[in-house]
Amino acid sequence: MTSSVWPALAALVVSAVGVLALLLAEKQWAVIAIIIAAGAAMFLARRFDWNERIRRSGAANSRKVFLAAMVLVVGAAFVMREHNFALLMLCTVMLMMVAGLGLTLQFGQAGVVNFAGAAFFGIGAYAAAVFATKTALPHLLVILAGGFFAALIGSVLVLPLLRTRGHYTALITIAFGILFKTFLEVNDALGGPQGLKVPGFVLFGHAFNDPIEIDEETEWSFYLAYAGLSLLLVAAAYAFVRRLERSWIGLAFDAVRIDETAASAFGVNVAAWKIAAFSIGNFLIGVAGAAYAMMTGFVAPTSFTFGDSLILVSIVILGGLGSALGLIPAALVVVVLPEKLQAIQEYRFLLFALLVIVILLVRPGGLLPRALRDYRVGAPR
Amino acid sequence: MRLATLLITVMVALATLPAQGKDTVRIAFIGPLTGGVSANGLGGRNSADLAVRLRNADAKAPYTYELVVLDDECKPNVGVQVATKAAADNGIVAGVTHYCSTVAMAAVDVYRKFGLPVIVWGAVLPDITYANDYKEVHRVNGTMINQNEAAARFMTGLRFKRWAVIHDTTDYGKGHNKYFSEDLARSGGQILGTFGVTADQQDFSAELTKIKELKPEVIYFAGLTPVGVRIRSQMDKLGVKAVFQGTSGIVSDAFIEGLGPLAEGVVAFREGAPAEKLPGGRVFLDAYTKQKYPDDPEAYGPFAFAAATLIMDAIDKVGPDRRKVRAELNRTKDYDSVVGKITFDDHRQNAVPLITRFVVQDGKWVVWEDSEYASGKRALVKK
């Protein structure tokens, strides 16, 4: 059973054009029109049963579609080369996806709840701030160090995590998030409540914070460089998480999530896999935090509150628990929509929350729920 | 589906702005419209909006102004995002920006990078103007330095000599402690002991027992109303006899309601005068009331109004060009505004900020000069 690449490719191109239009839309009516169009597209796709065809075509040609998606992002970034703000949003979406990938691995695949996502994001951000100012570590390594530290500090939570289940685990992570923020506020060495400046990213002598001068007349946004970096990170994280999911490790994660007792009866080491998922997830979240801090140039404790952790969790749930692909539309909705609704000022979160509720009413399993594993002969993998 | 239709109608209605004949110039307002300090953000937003409306109602004004309002949520990461949005938009000429100090600290680099002239209307951290030399960044409100300088000078002027300091461990309390201690040393006062407390601490008997032994004349408290109320009432229980001196954080009605008669004789300092005492304050308040905004202007509303007016005056004079507006704002000297004269120093900080001294008299915050304490009828220290 082979499937043509075209349905998936067409869906991809249509979505990319929509996203580009949303990022560049400035007028309120344009934003509304795009939201309605997206809703209509979803409705039509369901009506004519395109979803299944697109899914199958995408699954059968995953490598090609993945490459096409990367090409499309590069193309979109190029179109926006002089629009600083739109590029900043694009980078933010991609970095939030990296963090979301980490969280979905913990939450949706291995079933380890983590309500301290923002804290681990913050650990990465602060690690980047400290390493980039105090050491001469190359910045690519600084970003990895952010992930490493998030995983390392997360390991203090391992013991309580293994001893608790469900709501109690959630409570532990919430407590950790609050602890982290308070620690930052009383700790003057890390800037205290006022926060720290973070130097911009430098790679092989090119400072990412400098605009890219093409000639006398044209100057491309410096965010273009960050878009490249974010794309690299998100592509690597996505490929990594997807491969993990499809491997025997992913199977072990699923077993641990669905039934711990049954899993251990079959010889799956529940504790080891929980620790693995938690640490890998924190690593990804920390990497995202480090890159984000270097891009925005400033870290402060107020950016890493419990509320921000909930936003990360909501990205994961909105996309569909455990679904890596669903993170793309979910991150877009959560990051870009509140921003595009700035014109209605203090009411924007009201409307944004309403939209999220409407989406979950229509699609209770998330925007793009995780597909079931299919082991039949010839099934797309 | 009906819900969606309703939403769309509402949004389209909100998006449609009245079109007018003159050239339209856009200026940005950035402040916290959602979250814990949104009252201040909304007050500032309304005040800036009022300034724009008054200018647009004036037929002689060369341009029509449009206020682009952005919400920074009092979070630095969101602040950088909206600052980028405003600064990268070449249609926006200048901005009235930020109430929260951390947000302002994070955003000033963005304004520098994109060359957007801004006036800070509420953030009090000195570093926003003094830790950089960005020609884009101005500030109309005073800083913690001004407030504490005035406080130290005033209190030593009343012949107090010995202080004990209690501050909360937020940036607010820590900053105030730092500047007050420095200024007090300069004015000849002596600090017997400094105590840091957390912003949600309930019991202060340990600190206050120590302070009782030290026998200070004044207890300086840097923090906000809830902790201030607790400390003042526990002072009374433990029999600590000292004048209670606070910062802008306790100048609120809740402080007096929480303490009752115990509040009598508490002194505190705040940047800016109460609106009705300001040169143009009455006019401002009347105009504000006339627009029927649902929220109060709050303490910093007049500064947002002054900042927006200053920007529009500059644009009226030199045209909607960022560099020219920046140069014009840099030159501001003895400019008359609702918050008094504005003159920017070499770091574009308003050099003549007004600091008002308050004392609680008969259950009200009274400006010191009008109080019976100043006229000698009552005394802070009972003989």
Of B4, B7, B102, the CB nearest to A195: B102
* pLDDT over threshold 50, residue B17: no
| For B5, nearest residue in chain A (alpha carbons) | A36
pLDDT tens digit sequence for A238-263: 999 999 998 999 999 999 999 989 99
Contact A88 B12 (CB under 8 A): no
List Cβ neighbours of A330 (8 Å cut-off, separation of 6 or more).
Answer: A100, A315, A316, A318, A319, A320, A366, A367
> Are A193 and B69 in contact (CB < 8 Å)?
no
Mapping DSSP to helix (H, G, I), strand (E, B) and coil, where does residue A86 land? Answer: helix
Q: What is the tens place of the pLDDT at every residue in B171-193?
A: 778 888 989 999 998 888 899 99
Do B7 and A298 count as a contact with CB atoms less than 8 A apart?
A: no
pLDDT over 70 percentage in chain B: 93
Which of A253, A249, A252, A270 is closest to A261 using CA atoms? A270
Name which of B15, B101, B174 is nearest A343 (Cβ-Cβ). B15
Q: Residue A351: is its pLDDT beyond 90?
A: no
Among candidate residues A330, A250, A281, A238, the one with its CA nearest the CA of residue A107 = A281
Contact: A32, B102; criterion CB under 8 Å: no
pLDDT at B12 exceeding the cut of 60: no
Residue B96 near residue B29 (C-beta atoms within 8 A): yes
- CATH class belonging to B145-271+356-370: alpha beta
Q: In sequence order, what DSSP letters do the residues of A155-213 get, joined into one string?
A: GGGHHHHHH--HHHHHHHHHHHHHHHHHHHHH-GGGTGGG-EE-PPPEETTEETTS-EE
Q: What does the H/E/C string look like for chain B? A: CHHHHHHHHHHHHHHCCCCCCCCEEEEEEEECCCCCCHHHHHHHHHHHHHHHHHHHHCCCCCCEEEEEEEECCCCHHHHHHHHHHHHHCCCEEEEEECCCHHHHHHHHHHHHHHCCCEEECCCCCCHHHHCCCCCCEEECCCCHHHHHHHHHHHHHHCCCCEEEEEEECCHHHHHHHHHHHHHHHHHCCEEEEEEEECCCCCCCHHHHHHHHHHCCCEEEEECCHHHHHHHHHHHHHHCCCCEEEECHHHCCHHHHHHHHHHHCCCEEEEEECCHHHCCCHHHHHHHHHHCCCCCCCCCCHHHHHHHHHHHHHHHHHHCCCHHHHHHHHHCCCCEEECCEEECECCCCEECCCCEEEEEEECCEEEEHHHCCCCCCCCCCCCC
Task: Report, as an integer, the average pLDDT of B133-152.
Answer: 88
The pLDDT value given to residue B380:
82
Per-residue pLDDT, averaged over B89-105, amounts to 89
- In this prediction, residues A170-192 reach a mean pLDDT of 86
Name which of B77, B78, B92, B127 to mutate to probe chain A: the one with the most chain A Cβ atoms within 10 A of its Cβ: B77
| CB B343, CB B246: distance < 8 Å | no
Contacts of A289 in chain B (CB under 8 A): none
Q: Chain A contact for B76, CB < 8 A?
A: yes
Which of B71, B78, B127 minimises the CB distance to A345? B71
Q: Which of B110, B170, B171 would you mutate first to test chain A, the one with the most A CBs within 10 A? A: B171
Closest alpha carbon within chain B to A85: B85
Do A100 and A41 contact (CB within 8 A), yes or no? no
In angstroms, what separates the C-alpha of B142 from chain A's closest C-alpha? 18
With residue A298 as reference, give the H or E element that holds it.
strand A298-299
Query: How many domains are contained in chain A?
Result: 1
**Chain A residues within 8 A (CB-CB) of chain B?**
27-29, 32, 36, 39, 83-85, 88-89, 92, 185-186, 192-195, 197, 209, 292, 296-300, 302-303, 339, 342-346, 348-349, 351, 354, 358
Question: Which chain A residues are Cβ-neighbours of B102 within 8 angstroms?
Answer: 193-195, 300, 302
What's the confidence (pLDDT) of residue A84? 83
**A30-41: per-residue pLDDT in tens?**
888 888 888 888
pLDDT band for A380, please (50, 70, 90 cuts): low
Tokens read off for A370:
């995780």
Chain B residue with Cα closest to A289? B77
Helix (H, G, I), strand (E, B) or coil at A49: coil
Looking at residue A233, its pLDDT comes to 94
Q: Give the residue among B39, B104, B114, B45 at the shortest CA–CA distance from B75.
A: B104
> For chain A, what percent of residues have pLDDT higher than 70?
96
Q: What is the pLDDT of residue B2?
A: 57
Residue A124 maps to a domain: yes
Q: Which of B52, B128, B88 is nearest to B287 (CA)?
A: B52
Q: Pick A85's closest partner by Cβ from B84, B102, B125.
A: B84
In total, the C-beta contacts within 8 angstroms joining chain A to chain B are: 104
Nearest CA in chain B to A300: B76
Q: Which residues of chain B lie closer than 8 angstroms to A197, CB-CB?
A: 105, 109
**Contact between chains at A194 and B101 (C-beta distance less than 8 A):** yes
Q: Which domain holds residue A305?
A: 84-325
Q: Do A192 and B174 touch (CB under 8 A)?
A: yes
* Domain residue ranges in chain B: 2-142+275-352, 145-271+356-370
Look up tokens 């009705």; give the residue. B276
Q: What mean pLDDT is predicted for residues B110-135? A: 89
Q: Which helix (H) or strand (E) holds A219?
A: strand A219-220
**Residue A92, helix vs strand vs coil:** helix
Q: With CB atoms and an 8 Å threshold, state whether A339 touches B85.
A: yes
CATH numeric code, B2-142+275-352: 3.40.50.2300
Query: pLDDT digit string (tens) for A122-155?
Result: 999 999 999 988 888 888 899 999 999 999 999 9
pLDDT, one tens digit per residue, over A50-104 is 877 887 787 778 888 888 888 888 888 888 887 888 888 899 999 999 999 999 9
Q: Do B170 and A348 touch (CB under 8 A)?
A: no
Question: Does the pLDDT at position B108 exceed 60?
Answer: yes
Does B143 have pLDDT greater than 60? yes
CA-CA-CA-CA torsion sign (A155, A156, A162, A164):
negative
CB neighbours of residue A233 within 10 Å: 23
Write phi, then psi, for B162 (nearest 5 degrees).
Answer: -120, 125
* Phi, psi angles (nearest 5°) of residue A219: -140, 125
pLDDT attached to residue B88:
86
Q: Tell me whether residues B75 and A303 touch, CB distance under 8 A.
A: yes
Q: What's phi and psi for B247, nearest 5 deg?
A: -110, -175
Whether B15 sits inside 8 A of A342 (CB atoms) is: no
CA-based nearest residue in chain A for residue B39? A346
Q: Give pTM, 2 decimals.
A: 0.79
Report the alpha-carbon angle B88-A90-A100, nearest 5: 140
What is the end-to-end Cα distance of chain B in Å, rounded?
A: 75
CB pair distance less than 8 Å for B105 and A298 = yes
Partner residue opposite A300 with nearest CB, options B12, B33, B102: B102
Could you read off the pLDDT of A184-220 as tens digits, one per residue? 887 778 877 778 888 888 777 777 777 777 666 677 7
**Confidence (pLDDT) at B11:** 57
Q: List, for residues B239-273, the tens digit of each pLDDT value.
A: 998 999 998 888 877 888 888 888 898 999 887 77
Residue B286 has pLDDT above 70, yes or no: yes
pLDDT for residue B20 is more than 50:
no
Residues of B in contact with A43 (CB under 8 A): none
Q: Quick check: ipTM above 0.90? A: no
Q: How many angstroms separate the CA atoms of A97 and A104, rounded? A: 10
